[in-house]
Amino acid sequence: MDEHKKIEDLERRLEKIATDLERMKLADYVDIINNPRKLLYTNFIGGLARGLGTAIGLTALAAMLFYIMRQTVNLPLIGKYIADLLDIIENYR
């Protein structure tokens, strides 16, 4: 009977390991690593997404900075400097 319990315990552990491996998607990872074309495609799409996200984020940040600078033009100390900077930006467009 003791040996039967050990076998059941081993079967339970093996099932848990199999379930954990399925959740980790280890087979998909190995498939991507072994297939260079799929690896390049996945990395290319990831790079495009990161680049697009960076561009959108930087544009939003620049727009907010531009808006804040427009609001602070009325400050006497730095107003002239910011106004000159905004003129340079406007002329560049």
pLDDT at 1 over 70: no
Dihedral angle of Cα 58, 59, 65, 66, to the nearest 10 degrees:
150
Asked whether 69 and 86 are in contact (CB, 8 A), the reply is yes
**Structure-token match 């990831």, residue found:** 46
35-77 residue pLDDT tens: 889 889 999 999 999 999 999 999 999 999 888 877 776 666 6
pTM of the full structure:
0.48
Region 83-93: what's the mean pLDDT?
84
Task: Tell me which of 32 and 48 has the higher pLDDT.
Answer: 48
Mean pLDDT over each residue of the chain, to the nearest integer: 86
pLDDT at 76: 65
